[in-house]
Structure 1
Amino acid sequence: MQEEQHTVELQQQFFPISDFHTVMDKWSDLLDDDPQKNIYTADNDYHSFAFAYQLLGDDVLILHQKTHCHAKHRMELLPRRKSKFYTLKCLINQNKSARLISQNHHYDMHQGTMAFFSNYANYITELPAGYREENLQIVISHKFIDEYINRQHISHSRLQLIINDPNDLMFVIQQPPAPIKSNIKQLAQTVVGSSTATNKLNTLTHISNTLDMLFRLQIEEPTQPTSLPQNKAQQVAKYLDDYLTMPFPGMDFLATQFGISVSGLKRHFKQEMDTTPFQYYRHKQMQLAQKKLQESTATVSKVAYQLGFDNPSNFIRAFKGEFGITPGKYQKEQDTEA
């Protein structure tokens, strides 16, 4: 009961990217600003936080925030039913569990939890006293989606609805694939001090690649860990067969997706398939690479990017590791034989 008396109730409304500095100016009495480093800080009896930001015109705003709650918090984000923009929020680190409430759905927030929603959403975050968190939020304009994202890649029906229609839906992933988590951490590290035109271009490309991976996910609601049925390894293998044009999603993601433990997945996949999930994925991916390299219009770089590699050199190493020959030499041998 005593804890309830010290619950901090906060409300905030969505605001468009173009209003960022105006909103920050209104809070100037509560925040300390370091304009040289693009950082705002606050420290009071209820909480302390610091967030660095990078503003990329009116299309992208990146916020890297670290928070320490001295009291229990209940924070409500109110919808803004005007124009259309989106937020991708990822929990990078935490020391206690927290809760996200949206449309009467309750999500336990764990390290890595990711949510995507529009400014029409209305959600509540509950944080316990003593809670520490590091998160990254990327606010994206609808124009950015139109210009940088191939909507044909959006595989999940809920994501399609969020992007195409004004609604308060939220797409939550408890355990994102490893490549997405890696991208989020890289973005968090580059927010402060990234002010040159080249850095901005690289950052925009990094964000569009992250969104593309997110939108292409074949994902269902995660289930609780269970024992692994005999055919579960085949189910995982079939899932990976459809994943060959993206980076390997990681064992944690696969285990969560199929409701099994990581150790159980490794053990039973080895028993059923006589290999590891990653080795299976890489072998199938390189077989696909062979077929693509046999096409007359294919180049090594083009095939590398088609298969989700971030640069051709990593693809060359993977191909040579699988077949003992570089993809360039393989192509030449195929041309000679033809």
Structure 2
Amino acid sequence: MKERIHHYPQQFFSVARFLEVVQHGFASDMHDPKTCTLSMRGTYYRTDLVYRLLREDVLVFDQTMHFDETECNCVAAEEDGDFYLFKYVYEANKPLRLEQGDSDFAISEGFLGICSNFGNHNLWVPAGFDGKMLQILIERSFLEEFVQLDSFRRTSLKNLLFNKSSEILTINFLPQFLKRRLDKLVSLLYLPTDTPFDKLNMLTAVTDLLRNFLGLYVHQEDGDDVGRPADINSILVEIVRHLDNNLHLPFPGMGYLAKYFGISVSTLKRHFSTKYKVTPHGYFRNLQMQEARRLLKKTTIPITEIGYKMGFDSPGNFTRVFKKVYDVSPTFYRKDEM
């Protein structure tokens, strides 16, 4: 029996257009504006959507999907406006397939990517698919205000962020710190409806996530590709270089480093500790704290900002780690140095 394939044409939505479609394009039994949920049922699919408008230029939504038959979402470019769509597939029993121009690649669980509204692509959802996808719809105004766009002007992100590129940018391996931030966003979306919605907390989580994603992508693409040297000592040198270059990000996790550099976690732990007399995490944390101490001593940058510069997700975590290493809080250390 020939497989049935459904082609579903759609277009990139701006934040305003997304809200307009959701609020006015569905019957009351499908859309509940109080809980910001949408349930869509067809002959071959079920989709449930939970969304939150954080500002006029940023919207977060989570999609739970089941498909009995294959569907191709044919997404057309939108020349009006300047916005981006961030996708994270965190559950998938089968790989999806993404087509864009001459590119064709599988999207498995853990996929993380961003594209602008200026490109066309086809997203193939196979029959029997069950999965969940977190998406963030961001207007350029949000990135300009919160993510310091100019710092990416001379990087591999310049085409997407400044030249209306149709590229889809992805990260090959998902480090633990990014996964934790993504999981936090999902949990905030699904707080009980009788719980007050903490919009500021979610905005902070989105900003932190985007800064880390863009920063990590730049380091992966702009000369931080290891080339997989053959001997373990060369690999360790490349790992140290990678950690040195990413002090502004949280520690990526042993699993990420092992996969990225093509060795096992046990081999990484054993040889790194033998060569450097400290674990990779300990080495990274020592470097971070040395840089934090230098900034506290030589600059007047606020302590909270220093913590964020060092990749910490809160001032409290930064203070706790600094005090553990130096037996004094950042505040008292700075006072003693003045």
TM-score tier, shorter chain, comes to 0.7 to 0.9
- Distance in 2 separating the partners of 1:181 and 1:156: 27
Aligned to 1:124: 122
Check the 8 A contact 1:228/1:265 in 2, yes or no.
no
Check the 8 A contact 2:111/2:171 in 1, yes or no.
yes
Q: Does 1:212 align with 2:211?
A: yes
Matches within 5 A, 1:151-170: 151-154=149-152, 157-170=155-168
Which stretch of structure 1 is more off in the superposition, 236-245 or 179-188? 179-188
Aligned to 1:200: 199
Distance 1:148 1:78, change over 3 A: same
Aligned to 2:253: 250
Which stretch of structure 1 is more off in the superposition, 73-82 or 136-145? 73-82
Offset at residue 332 of structure 1 (A): 4.5
Which stretch of structure 1 is more off in the superposition, 205-214 or 233-242? 205-214
Instruction: Give the 3-state SS of the residue equivalent to 1:257 in structure 2.
Output: helix
Distance 1:86 1:31, change over 3 A: farther
Check the 8 A contact 1:73/1:128 in 2, yes or no.
yes
Aligned to 1:291: 294
Q: Which runs of 5+ in 1 are unaligned?
A: none
Decide which of 1, 15, 22 is 2:13's aligned counterpart. Answer: 15
Q: Which runs of 5+ in 2 are unaligned?
A: none
Check the 8 A contact 1:99/1:125 in 2, yes or no.
yes
Aligned to 1:74: 72
Residue identity matched to 2:57? D
Offset at residue 195 of structure 1 (A): 11
Normalised by the length of structure 2, the TM-score is 0.87
- Distance in 1 separating the partners of 2:110 and 2:154: 20
Residue identity matched to 2:205? H
Q: Does 1:279 align with 2:302?
A: no
What does the per-residue CA deviation read over 1:37-80, in whole Å, with 9 as the maximum and x for residues that have no partner?
11111233311110101123430121111111112222221111
- Distance in 1 separating the partners of 2:229 and 2:308: 36
Aligned to 2:234: 231
Offset at residue 118 of structure 1 (A): 0.4
- Distance in 2 separating the partners of 1:293 and 1:131: 52
Residue identity matched to 1:102? Q
Residue identity matched to 1:52? V
Instruction: Give the 3-state SS of the residue equivalent to 1:281 in structure 2.
Output: helix
- Distance in 2 separating the partners of 1:18 and 1:195: 26
Residue identity matched to 1:115? G
Normalised by the length of structure 1, the TM-score is 0.87
Distance 1:76 1:134, change over 3 A: same
Aligned to 2:307: 304
Aligned length: 333
Residue identity matched to 1:110? S
Aligned to 2:326: 323
Check the 8 A contact 2:184/2:205 in 1, yes or no.
no
Distance 1:92 1:236, change over 3 A: same
Aligned to 1:179: 177
What does the per-residue CA deviation read over 1:77-130, in whole Å, with 9 as the maximum and x for residues that have no partner?
111122211011111122222222223223322222111110112122222222
Check the 8 A contact 1:30/1:42 in 2, yes or no.
no
Distance 1:62 1:144, change over 3 A: same
- Distance in 1 separating the partners of 2:137 and 2:27: 24
Residue identity matched to 1:49? T
Instruction: Give the 3-state SS of the residue equivalent to 1:175 in structure 2.
Output: coil
Offset at residue 316 of structure 1 (A): 2.3
Residue identity matched to 2:245? D
